[in-house]
Amino acid sequence: MKEHKTYDVYYDEEADFLEVSFEEPAKLGTTEEIQEGVFVTRDVDTKRIANVGILSFKKRVGLLKIILDSLNKRLPIEISIPSN
């Protein structure tokens, strides 16, 4: 799996949306819904994956690792939602 030097993790609690970005944002990207509520944005020219977004993340925390593995991506941290 390719290592990246820059990551950005954004979570919108109100919308329950998590987005993980790899390296610099794509100058021009295209977004595809690869399964319900899971979005992948790729750079139009290089086809590299710029970011991954997941709706209803609290209900599907484990899905992030599965999606990243399927895209041959990894994070140097684990992302979880604390239980109340």
- pTM value? 0.80
Tokens of 4: 């990246």
- The length of the chain in residues reads 84
C-alpha to C-alpha distance for 46 and 28, rounded to whole angstroms: 10
High-pLDDT (> 90) share of the chain, %: 40
What is the per-residue pLDDT for 6?
64
Averaged pLDDT for residues 25-32? 83
41 in Cβ contact with 29 (< 8 Å): yes
Q: Which residue has the tokens 């992948």?
A: 40
SS3 state at 68: helix
Beta strands in the chain (DSSP E): 7-12, 17-22, 29-35, 38-43, 49-55
Which tens digit of pLDDT belongs to each residue from 48-70? Answer: 898 999 999 999 988 988 998 99
